[in-house]
A = this chain, B = another copy of it.
Amino acid sequence: MATDPQQACFEAGIKFGSLYHQFAGTPVSPDSTRSLETAMAEAIENQPFCESVDVDISDSLVAEAIDHENGYTELTGNLMTVEMRIEYEGVTARTRMEMEDGYPLMKLISVDE
């Protein structure tokens, strides 16, 4: 059987994979970053044990990624940072996705009973 902290970490991972693969590929421009951040956070906060989600899509990185003709790019892990807090049976798991050595990495920051 898994312990409560292990279960909290499993739930934290589910939320991260869900957020990334639901929304990666979404057309995005500097005009639509705020609405996408809000929708991503509120969507994943619906999931069980997910107390808070904070999504920060970089307007300047989005602008850089846009081809002059198209006017938009597709959302990838390179363009955002994400923080989440999971609460499971009194255990708090904190996670973050951020760039490391040029690649987006999903990290377990802390697990507190």
> Is there contact, CB below 8 Å, between A24 and B27?
no
> Is there contact, CB below 8 Å, between B17 and A111?
no
| Interface assignment of A65: CB less than 8 Å from any CB of chain B | no
Nearest B-chain residue to A109, judged by Cβ: B2
Q: How large is the interface on A (under 10, 10 to 19, 20 to 34, 35 or more residues)?
A: 35 or more
Quick one: copies of this chain in the complex?
4
> Is there contact, CB below 8 Å, between B7 and A18?
no
> Is there contact, CB below 8 Å, between B24 and A25?
yes
Partner-B contacts on A (CB < 8 A): 1-3, 5-7, 9-22, 24-29, 31-32, 35-36, 38-40, 42-48, 67, 69-72, 74, 76, 93, 95, 102-103, 106, 108, 110-111
